[in-house]
Amino acid sequence: MFHGIDRSVIEHESFKEDSVRELIIAPMIAKLGYGAVGSNRAARSAALKNPFIRVGTREHPVTIIPDYMLYADNRPVFVLDAKAPNQSTIDPKHVQQTYSYAFHPEVKVAEFGLCNGLELTIFDMDSFEPVFSLPFEEFESRWGDIEKYLTPRYLL
């Protein structure tokens, strides 16, 4: 599925977040059954307006943009955020960022995840401890575990 990509390729300084999106996450979500359109889809960079930002009585529009919103039966079921390989999927600031997308009133999903190409980490909204974490080297050999967490059927 990842066409000759190994850890040394991902760890190379030229492999950035956009490479993670294109070469790791995009093939993964396609194989999980999400398309670009339809009831089970992956929406990329969907803008969400934050309704809670105010300073005094003045409202300051803030837009947040999750990398991937996964939909099953036309409703949001999972937020997946891409990170560069040199950024940890358990760094509290990255987890909190993705949590803010998943908690957003337009989204309200039960789980969210981060992928930096080297690791896929999934969190439940009730805990900042990962419920699932998998290194890249095991993505293909443990594909069934990824399916258990991320297919539309599971997320519904």
83 half-sphere exposure, CB direction, 13 A CA radius:
20
User: Please, are residues 109 and 125 in contact by the beta-carbon 8 Å criterion?
Assistant: yes
The 10s digit of each residue's pLDDT in 30-63 is: 999 999 999 999 999 777 766 555 556 666 666 6
In 12-61, at which residue ranges do the beta strands (DSSP E only) sit? 41-44, 48-50, 54-55, 58-59
Q: What is the DSSP letter of 22?
A: I
Please give the pLDDT value at position 77. 97
Please state, rounded to an integer, the average pLDDT across all residues of the chain. 91
Max Cα-Cα span within the chain: 55
Residue 110 has pLDDT above 60, yes or no: yes
What's the pLDDT score for residue 53? 56
Residues in CB range of 108: below 8 A, 6 or more apart: 76, 102
Question: Which residues sit opposite 44 in a β-bridge?
Answer: 68
* 104-141 CB burial, b ≥16 within 10 A, e <16: beebebebbbbbbbbbbbbbeeeeeebebebebeebee
